[in-house]
Amino acid sequence: MKMTVIGAGNVGATTAQRLADKQLATEVVLLDIAEGIPQGKGLDMFESMPVEASDCRILGTNSYEDTIDSGIVIITAGLARKPGMSRDDLLAANAKIVGSCAEQAVKYSPNAFYIIVSNPLDVMTFVALQKTGLPRNKVLGMAGVLDTARYRTFLSMELNVSVEDIQAFVLGGHGDTMVPLPRYTTIAGVPITELLPQDRIDAIVQRTRNGGIEIVNHLKTGSAYYAPSAAAVQMVECIVKDKRRILPCAVMLKGEYGLHDVVVGVPVKVGKNGMEDIFQITLDEHENAELVKSADDVKATMEKLASMDY
């Protein structure tokens, strides 16, 4: 399958490299508006394929014509957060960028699946849905996979256990109102509520919510890209290999969890048809209230967007 990554910055370039290393695509097209950047990075990656024993071809380009007939398009383009900048600060600028990318990409790859990585994630997924006109199963936002990975990482650090034995979900919007679910978090089947006191669980939940800005504050002039790219590629792998894994992804809801016409992270079965099903796990009163609050936050941002010219 041919794949396109739009945006040759840190997230996009790392995503393209991971796709090629894992041989998930026969060809990866790395597209960016900056002349020379995708060409240089693409050629550098291609020259690493003999070392990686991968026959994936990598093409860097500034032309959407080179993306024709891609099976999966990953949109990473957009401005990165800087210290003191919220995801909402990125709204207007990135809506124009992502909207333009989606409109142009779908002209050449109308049958592709679209995975959105640009922030603010949930609303950018909504923008891509609007601009492509595709059904909701074909446009997925990456956030929940990343947030859950961070949550599992912090639990592994706390308990000194393998990340492989940690099962968890983080639902809701990709931001301060995300909803980690300790009640559904287990270590080799044992609920974390039996392994950690409530104050430590609360601290880990809060660190998860601040996971992105913690890295921004360290880097000063950039944002995370290793974990976001890994999360996007995991979603790609589920589609390519029809794995039907249950991953928390940002998708348009049509009544699931009592939520309508809002893009928010929920457990999704991801396979060859993209979003194949939405798993509706039972939430207690507090969890449900948190999810509704998070969805309302996303919806408010979507309403802000409606008044903007993008």
pLDDT (tens digit, 9 = 90+) per residue, 158-208?
999 999 999 999 999 988 899 999 999 999 999 999 999 999 999 999 999
Token digits of residue 295: 């969805």
Q: Which residue has the tokens 């492989």?
A: 164
Residue 255, CB half-sphere, CA atoms under 13 Å: how many?
Answer: 0
Q: Say whether pLDDT at 73 is over 90.
A: yes
- Rounded percentage of the chain residues whose pLDDT exceeds 90: 88
Confidence band, pLDDT 50/70/90 cuts, at residue 5: very high
pLDDT (tens digit, 9 = 90+) per residue, 225-263?
999 999 999 999 999 999 999 999 999 999 999 999 999
User: pTM of the entire structure?
Assistant: 0.95
Sheet holding 57-61, edge to edge: 57-61, 27-31, 2-6, 72-75, 113-116, 139-141, 245-254, 260-271, 274-278
Q: Which of 174, 218, 260, 286 is catalytic?
A: 174
Residue 174 among the catalytic residues: yes
CA distances from 287 to 61, 151, 179, 181, 217 (A): 45, 17, 8, 7, 29
Distance (Å, rounded) from C-alpha 300 to C-alpha 172?
A: 14
Q: What is the CA radius of gyration of the chain?
A: 19
Predicted local distance difference test score (pLDDT) of residue 288: 96
Question: What residue ranges do the domains of the chain occupy?
Answer: 2-142, 144-306
> Class of 144-306 per CATH?
alpha beta
Does the fold of domain 144-306 match that of domain 2-142? no
Distance (Å, rounded) from C-alpha 69 to C-alpha 262?
A: 29
Q: Domain 2-142 adopts which CATH fold?
A: Rossmann fold (3.40.50)
Confidence band, pLDDT 50/70/90 cuts, at residue 280: very high
Element (H, E) at 57: strand 57-61
Distance (Å, rounded) from C-alpha 121 to C-alpha 116?
A: 7
